[in-house]
Amino acid sequence: RSKELGRNKFRFYNSEMSERTRQEMRLEERLHHALAKGALNLHYQPKINLASGCLEGLEALLRWHDDELGQVSPAEVIPLAERLGLIETLGTQVLEMVCAQLQKWQHLARVPVAVNLSVLQLQSEHFLRVLDHCLSRYQIAPELIELEITESFFIPERAEAMLAMLEAIRSRGIRLSIDDFGTGYSSLAYLRKLPINALKLDRSFVQNLPGSQGEVEISLAVLGMARGLGLEVIAEGVETAAQAEFLAKHHCQQAQGFYFSRPLPADAVPRWLEINAPNQ
Ligand code: C2E
Ligand code: MG
Ligand code: MG
Ligand code: MG
């Protein structure tokens, strides 16, 4: 009896594994297809100045609708592209799309667009060349691009090389921010050396404001530290008026979240730029 059970379990496990492999292979094949066709798309989420209520920037977020698979989340696509060695191709397409879009929006308002980067892009020797090429091809001022990197970046063995890469980026006038701040392992000593402009306070802290004492203390500590280091703080995932009020009261400069706006398709952005962006 127990032998039989064991066998069944084995068979179940086996078929589950191959099902997963099949799905992954299909996803892989579709991703290759999407990259070849240039079928990836971006949505743009407003970044709001908490003191003025004005739109001060946008964040580009990857969207992929596949005819066969439907909508596939970036949380699934990005790690897959990293595993398959496709992240550089994908990242270049994202940068190209953002620069092309910025060129179209320039006559409306000049607000920076933030692009999320995979740490693998920053480790590539081609990255700076790709970046320079995009900016010059679409004639984009470097100040209009912001790059968001996560703390997974901070691998001690690579600290020196990464610091040099960030300095090369920053010296071009491109803005840099640390995404999902507070969830990784960057040391404060290292953080102090980085040529960055802003920290993005992770949504996991923001969502429990202002009721939860622990998250209140963490948020205040991040805001205090950022002020001391001359960095701005952008709160992610603001969903309620109470969260926005708490953050404004404690001098958090910017916020993003469903309370202000969901990520928008590109054609919905001009309305926001006309109404909400400060006049240039
Ligand atoms: P992220 O950069 O931290 O982006 C914020 C995520 O939170 C986005 O999810 C956004 O849609 C979502 N979000 C924004 N406001 C709220 C809110 O009020 N409540 C909740 N519950 N969620 C909110 P999304 O678009 O699914 O992206 C997930 C992650 O995928 C991003 O996290 C980023 O790390 C990565 N990603 C997205 N686009 C790209 C890309 O072009 N390149 C790379 N390398 N990574 C990307
Ligand atoms: Mg981000
Ligand atoms: Mg984030
Ligand atoms: Mg996040």
Give the distance (Å) from ligand 4 centre to CA of residue 239.
14
β-strands 198-201, 175-181: how paired? parallel
pLDDT at 167: 97
Higher pLDDT, 109 or 264: 264
pLDDT at 187: 78
Query: DSSP H helical segments within 172-212, as ranges?
Result: 188-193, 203-206
Confidence of residue 97 (pLDDT cuts 50, 70, 90): very high
Indicate if ligand 1 lies below 6 Å from the C-beta of 61.
yes
Q: List pLDDT tens digits, range 219-272.
A: 999 999 999 999 999 999 999 999 999 999 999 999 999 999 999 999 999 999
User: Ligand 1 pocket check: which of 84, 116, 177, 234 to mutate, most ligand atoms within 8 Å of Cβ?
Assistant: 116
pLDDT at 19: 74
Residue 3 clears pLDDT 60, i.e. is over it: no
Indicate if ligand 1 lies below 6 Å from the C-beta of 57.
no
Q: List pLDDT tens digits, range 37-55.
A: 999 999 999 999 999 999 9
Q: What is the mean pLDDT of residues 77-86?
A: 95
Indicate if ligand 1 lies below 6 Å from the C-beta of 237.
yes
Respond yes or no on whether ipTM tops 0.95: yes
Residue 193 clears pLDDT 70, i.e. is over it: yes
Helix/strand/coil (H/E/C) assignment for every residue in 211-226: CCHHHHHHHHHHHHHH
Confidence of residue 197 (pLDDT cuts 50, 70, 90): very high
Average model confidence (pLDDT) across the chain? 92
Report residue 165 as tokens.
């890469």
Locate the ligand 1 atom nearest the alpha carbon of residue 258 and give its number: 18
Q: List pLDDT tens digits, range 140-189.
A: 999 999 999 998 777 778 888 999 999 999 999 999 999 999 888 777 88
Confidence of residue 12 (pLDDT cuts 50, 70, 90): low
Is 179:154 a contact under the CB 8 Å cutoff?
no
- Tell me the whole-structure pTM to 2 decimals: 0.93
Is 76:91 a contact under the CB 8 Å cutoff?
no
Closest CA to 256 of 169, 142, 177: 177
pLDDT at 10: 56
Give the distance (Å) from ligand 4 centre to CA of residue 75.
10
